[in-house]
A = this chain, B = another copy of it.
Amino acid sequence: MTVKNAFYAQSGGVTAVINASACGVIETARRHPDRIGRVYAGRNGIIGALTEDLIDTSLESAEQIARLRHTPSGAFGSCRYKLKSLEQHREQYERLIEVFKAHDIGYFFYNGGGDSADTCLKVSQLSETMGYPIVAVHVPKTVDNDLPITDCCPGFGSVAKYVATSIREAGYDVASMAKTSTKVFILEVMGRHAGWITAACGLAAEQEGEGPHILLFPEIEFDPERFLAKVKETVERHGHCVIGVSEGIKGTDGKFLSESGLRDAFGHAQLGGVAPTLAQLIKDKLGYKYHWAVADYLQRAARHIASRTDAEQAYALGRAAVEMALAGKNAVMPAIRRLADAPYRWDIVEAPLAQVANVEKFMPRDFISADGFHITDACRAYLSPLIEGEDYPPYRNGLPDYVRLANIAVAKKTGRDFQV
């Protein structure tokens, strides 16, 4: 059989488990030396391919590669950079082919979300459009959980476990303090367009009266009056109120609430921070003492409390991507198929990239309760398996022992620079 090298790159916002997918790709490729030579990783994602800044992963020991499985973030660097269409930017594609050819690359693995699926699809068509033979497989990843076909997206389950755990813990805390001190606690989570992560907060409320009591989804228009009434009712009933809010909630004017409230000392709009905006509203209108937290990167990087399900799926999808490529599949993405909720069973199927690229999956309306402030049992049944199981990293000196690879560059061969 012909031996070709493989290119692997990470794209977009990184997650607690994207390196587990990288680990799945590299370890599986290493088991097929008759077909795959070296795995070159793009330094900072696809930019590494365009600038011929490739990392030779074959120079890393098996032990170091194995440690990727429990290391958050993007070990080779990621980027936010979307290839334009062939018509708009043909020279980018010519450059990719130049680099691929120079390094004998026959496999392209792209690990990212919806935009990346689109890039991967374009690369998969290079043999057709530009006569360069390549097999391109997309490895799904996004904390936003918004890719179609796949039942869930690696990275999401771990964020879900983190936010549900964190809001439970903070909820216990504020319940202890409410008699004489803090009565309202607000946790702001990611999810600018879809409320998947906010919904995951809801998993913490298993018993009557347990927080979070209110969830604010980007899918539901924010109505200050209804919200304040709900906060008041909750404090009067339970003595305290725990709120999970998406960074992306919008007011009746259609603007992000995070952009409408705060001003700095010069009157400029303060970017980010819907939690403090809500806290101020509650303070002004209801007078309750509050605390708020913004989890930001902490939530998507929290490998220390990753979901075992999520970590396993991330690895398995990396492995499946290589297996699909070796089977000659082009322009596909391995996807999770759910076979049963409880006990949770899943397998991996092939999704055609043409059906994945640029398609967003939204949260079903029946996952949100009728009043818009919580999740339904259907949502709970969907989410619960995704946070199942723990998968602790090893610790050294009291801290998670994450790997930093040497990331040694491959010698350049094209003899020219390329500006991105």
User: Are B44 and A180 touching (Cβ within 8 A)?
Assistant: yes
Taking the closest CB of chain B, its distance from the CB of A184, in whole angstroms, is 11
CA distance A272 to B74 in the complex (A): 32
Indicate the size class of the contact surface on chain A: 35 or more
Q: Is the CB of A303 within 8 A of B400?
A: no
* Contact among B168, B261, B389 for A400, CB-based, below 8 A: B168
For residues 387 through 420 of chain A, which have their beta carbon under 8 Å from a beta carbon of chain B?
387-390, 392, 395, 397-400, 402, 404
Question: Whole-angstrom distance between the alpha carbons of A9 and B296 in the complex?
Answer: 35
Q: How far is the CB of A253 from chain B (nearest CB, A)?
A: 13
B399 close to A387 (CB less than 8 A) = yes
Is the Cβ of A265 less than 8 Å from the Cβ of B270?
no
A389: which of B74, B271, B291, B398 is its contact (CB, 8 Å)?
A: B398
B169 touches A301 (CB 8 A): yes
Inter-subunit contact A179/B47 (CB<8 Å):
yes
Q: Which of A117-125, A200-208, A346-354 contacts B (4 or more CB under 8 A)?
A: A200-208
Q: Can you list 25 pairs linking A and B with CB atoms under 8 Å apart?
A: A14-B173, A44-B180, A47-B180, A72-B169, A73-B176, A74-B177, A78-B176, A79-B179, A80-B181, A168-B399, A169-B298, A169-B400, A172-B301, A173-B300, A187-B298, A203-B399, A262-B276, A268-B280, A273-B276, A291-B296, A292-B296, A293-B294, A293-B298, A384-B398, A387-B397
Tell me if A198 is interfacial: C-beta within 8 Å of chain B. Answer: no
Closest 5 CB pairs of A and B: A387-B398, A73-B172, A74-B176, A169-B301, A293-B296
Contact of A297 among B173, B273, B392, B395 (CB under 8 A): B173
| Shortest beta-carbon distance from A274 to chain B in Å | 12
Pair B263/A265 contact, Cβ less than 8 Å: yes
Residues 255 to 312 of chain A near chain B (Cβ within 8 Å): 260-265, 267-268, 270-273, 275-277, 279-280, 283, 291-298, 300-305, 307
Contact with B along A184-207 (1 / 0, CB 8 A): 010100000000000000011011
Indicate whether A355 reaches chain B with its CB closer than 8 angstroms.
no
Our pick among B77, B204, B292 for the contact of A294 (Cβ within 8 Å) is: B292
